[in-house]
Amino acid sequence: MSGKKINEITVLAPATVANVVCGFDILGFALDGLFDKMLIRKTSKKGVTIINKDDYNLPTQPSKNVIGAALLALLKAVPEEIGFIVESTKIIKPGSGIGSSAASAAGAVVGANHLLNNRFTKEQLVEFALCGEEVASGSKHADNIAPCIYGGITLIRSASPLDIIQIPSPKLYVTILHPQIEVKTSDAREILKKQILLKDAIIQWGNIAGLIAGLMKSDYDLIGRSLMDVIVEPVRSILIPHFDEVKTKSMAAGALGGGISGSGPSVFFLSKNEKTAKTVEKVITDVYKNIGINFHTHITTISKQGVKFI
């Protein structure tokens, strides 16, 4: 595609896991093999047109759509009279807890930027995409957006001004459980405590620092010891059926650790190898087969690449 002017592009935007247990609103990673698909066309007419190619019946009015809000923010920074038409095929179910809205927002701005000869930096693209995330959840949190755009594991050191750091990591396998229920991000944020005890904050800071150090040193034991949340998980876990049983049995099966993906209902567990990840999947399946709730499971790895073109 280099050296050739193009007016349309197809992108795949990955699912993501946010929070990563102890890293509420600051840590996230991209998943391999789970993508939303978008065909983006550049036009000479200012504005955004959205065409849904799936059955989720999401709004097509740009200001009320994640894709639309992100692209409208980008267009404010573009002096030319141009616009975009987006054909969106969502594979990542809205409300699943694995970054469905982030994939839409991030995929749209990365694709649009490519059609604009990559005039914006990744950090600027995150800023634009956050306007879409705000439509979905009521707040501009970048822990899904950043890994979707950058790939791998990302740390949001600061939200204002935005400061995103990519964190190197060893090979990690991810087992995802997606109960077929909906947990709205806005509702999950509403139940959180507005104040926390200093002793809990100290424990959480230690775990976040330990997790970052463990990832950078490829120290699996340290990663496992640090995957502990004493602030958010105890509150939100009540929204996930049989969460405690699933976590206890997954850890007994050899998982390094895990917890709620984003605001849920999806749950994730990290493992050192694929064999353990499959064992974790089996124990999760055994639990959920007995409680009468439909569910999906998926085994994947952390994707080093964010949004990509096809």
pLDDT tens, N- to C-terminus, the chain (310 residues)? 445 678 999 999 999 999 999 999 999 999 999 999 999 999 999 999 999 999 999 999 999 999 999 999 999 999 999 999 999 999 999 989 999 999 999 999 999 999 999 999 999 999 999 999 999 888 888 999 999 999 999 999 999 999 999 999 999 999 999 999 877 766 777 778 889 999 999 999 999 999 999 999 999 999 999 999 999 999 999 889 999 999 999 999 999 999 999 989 999 999 999 999 999 999 999 999 989 899 999 999 999 999 999 9
Nearest to 45 by CA among 7, 91, 99: 7
Specify the domain boundaries for CATH 3.30.230.10 within the chain: 8-168+305-309
Look-up: residue for tokens 């616009």? 83
Distance CA 134, CA 283 (A): 36
Q: Enumerate the H helices of the chain as residue ranges.
A: 66-76, 100-115, 122-137, 145-150, 185-190, 198-217, 220-226, 233-236, 243-252, 274-289
Residue 257 CB partners (closer than 8 Å, separation 6+):
21, 223, 224, 226, 227, 228, 251, 269, 270
Distance CA 245, CA 284 (A): 9
Tell me the CATH architecture of domain 173-301.
Answer: 2-Layer Sandwich (3.30)
Distance CA 1, CA 11 (A): 14
Distance CA 244, CA 256 (A): 16
pLDDT at residue 82, as a whole number: 96
Tell me the CATH architecture of domain 8-168+305-309.
Answer: 2-Layer Sandwich (3.30)
Residue 104 CB partners (closer than 8 Å, separation 6+):
13, 36, 38, 66, 67, 70, 88, 90, 132
pLDDT at residue 182, as a whole number: 75
Q: 97 to each of 10, 160, 183, 270, how far by Cα in Å?
A: 24, 24, 8, 16
Distance CA 270, CA 283 (A): 14
Can you read off the two tokens belonging to residue 297? 């499971």
Query: Residue 162 in contact with residue 146, Cβ under 8 Å?
Result: no
pTM for the complete prediction? Answer: 0.93
pLDDT at residue 137, as a whole number: 81
Nearest to 133 by CA among 112, 147, 116: 147
pLDDT at residue 128, as a whole number: 98
Query: What is the set of active-site residues?
Result: 133, 185
Specify the domain boundaries for CATH 3.30.70.890 within the chain: 173-301
pLDDT at residue 4, as a whole number: 62
Query: Residue 127 in contact with residue 140, Cβ under 8 Å?
Result: no
